[in-house]
Amino acid sequence: MEFLPISWRLQGKQALVVGGGDVALRKGRLLHRSGAVLSVVAPDVCDELRHLVAEGQGHLRERPFDAADLAGSSLVICATDDSAVNAQIADLAAAENIPVNVVDNPSLGDFIFPAIVDRSPVLISISSSGASPVLARKLRSQLESTLPARWGRLADLMAKFRQPLKDKLDNVGARRLFWEQALDSPIVEKVLAGKDSEAEVLLAEAIDSADSDKLSQGEVYLVGAGPGDPDLLTFRALRLLQKADVVLYDRLVGKGIVDLARRDAEMVYVGKARDKHALPQDNINELLVHYARQGKKVCRLKGGDPFIFGRGGEEIDLIVQEGINFQVVPGITAASGCAAYGGIPLTHRDHAQSVRFVTGHRQDGTVTLDWEHLVSETETVVFYMGLVGLRQICDQLMAHGRKGDTPIALVSRGTTDLQEVITGTLATLPDDIEGREIHAPTLIIVGSVVSLHPKFGWFK
């Protein structure tokens, strides 16, 4: 993150704009709306910018910039059409420790202007860190079309009832949970429909009946994070992740997904690398109960789907025994996600009429599977956690009747920007990858559907 997004109170503070054209005007409009006192310096100033200065009782100097113009300024905007002049002003401002913005050259300044979605008092800022203002404006236009204009009215209503709720509930966690529930209630629709008085009545009634003990009951969310790409997270998974007070996550959950959690949530890494867990499974189960018993909302974030080789059943078992409320949110399992991103349909009427998911994780140094039922030519077999046992998997399949020229794919870090798909046959793939550095997590797909990868592979 190159720039820290902050909200800056500028009411009554002097903002110096050097420049009088269209670019200076755009910055001047934003500063005027924020309540800043405009000070404009330029030989030629457009009429609208003049008007903004006068309306805000600012200062207009129709001449070239002078270093003395910096006096009393809380920030400086360099918006002339001369890059050398802009750079000179930026240096002078830096020497005076005054934050400066250099239009069209963010590297010379301290801050940049984001694209803004204004639903005052709700503001959404969108920035490309100066890389592409056009992209930021494009994202803004998309948000503008999806966010109702009355969101600001909703924020005002919540502000009005903050103190009454505080008087009712002295627990800050209970108050946060109350507002989360209120935002999922008919109160929101009343405000968006313009029925503010009805919304006030509903909110007052909800506060009157609010119960701190009920709001503070712990709960566990067992959430499937999918195979890696954050875009594959479900809406429900995202909502519960951002609601959680504590998040337990493992190695298979991508950083982009972990970063979606609430900033103030407690993040607990539990490892789960092959044969090297940061915490044993029993300890993870106990941690879920421990945090829930404290009245916290606990998200157990798991790669793929919790109930497909995710040991979700084991984790829920203790929660059920302890009588703790829980939810299970399915995720896109690795087989489905990696196959789709690898251009390998798991079923295809010309290749496979069924698919089987099995674990290739070794126990006591061996891969113990029902090999006789894994050799059908019309079935795709997907092995989870099979990288270390790849050679044994291939040998056993061939020993039990699968042909040596059967196509096989090894998918590494599937659905992410680092995805790699290595194809071969049962007879050749183990030797092909000998000595190569293969990054986990990996998935193995066996069957003639793998032959479609060169044709259907789309994700690079």
Catalytic residue positions, numbered: 250, 272
Task: Give the Cα-Cα-Cα angle 216, 220, 217 (nearest 5 degrees).
Answer: 15
Secondary structure E strands in 191-314: 219-224, 246-249, 266-269, 297-302
Helix (H, G, I), strand (E, B) or coil at 138: helix
Report the candidate in 180, 206, 457, 219 with the shortest Cα–Cα distance to residue 325.
Answer: 219
> Among all chains, which residue has been given the structure tokens 């044993």?
280
Q: Helices 151-160 and 196-208 sit at what angle, rounded to 10 degrees? A: 40
DSSP string, 62-127: -S---GGGGTT-SEEEE--S-HHHHHHHHHHHHHTT--EEETT-GGGSS--PPEEEEETTEEEEE-
In whole angstroms, give the CA distance from residue 6 to residue 9.
10
Q: What is the DSSP letter of 431?
A: H
Q: What is the DSSP letter of 31?
A: H
In whole angstroms, give the CA distance from residue 388 to residue 410.
12
| 441 prior amide bond cis, ω within 30 | yes
> Among all chains, which residue has been given the structure tokens 């100033």?
45
In whole angstroms, give the CA distance from residue 234 to residue 332.
9
Q: What is the DSSP letter of 5?
A: -
DSSP string, 362-425: -BTTB----GGGS--TTEEEEEES-STTHHHHHHHHHHTT--TT-EEEEEESTTSTT-EEEEEE
Q: What is the DSSP letter of 194?
A: T
Q: Tokens for 118, please give them.
A: 């204004």
